[in-house]
Amino acid sequence: MQLLNTIFPLLLTSTLVFSAPFAKRDTATVLGDLSTITRNVVYLSRELASFVATPSIGIATFSQHFSQLDKNIDTATTDTNAVGSFNATDSEAVANSASGFANDALNLLIALMNNVNHHIFHSE
């Protein structure tokens, strides 16, 4: 019993000491993931004009980069779920980064829809 009383507080202390750096690392990982998917969206937005200009040529590259974006979104989701919860400072940083991605992604989707609609209604 004495051994248990000695080890238990030590385990709690070591868990508390080590949990902060892991949480920071996980937050940094999530922020890195969000940065990566934002870069993917910006890159796709830049590629959109050449893809629309010559869809038969640009579709392979555009699709490959879109697939990469999808994989990176899965990674970001998995890493975010692994953190579980963020402290107030990290929550704000993650929310701001996610918001930036959401704005860029929305702009890309609007551009895609506009170009698809344009080609459907003007190709007849």
What the chain holds in terms of domains, given with CATH numbers, is: 24-122 (1.20.58)
Residue 82: closest CA among 34, 23, 31: 23
pLDDT one-digit tens code per residue, 30-56 = 999 999 999 999 989 888 888 878 888
- Alpha-carbon distance of 65 to 77, in angstroms, equals 18
**CA distances from residue 68 to 22, 73, 75, 109 in whole angstroms, order as listed:** 27, 9, 11, 16
Confidence band for 3, pLDDT divided at 50, 70 and 90: very low
pTM of the model: 0.70
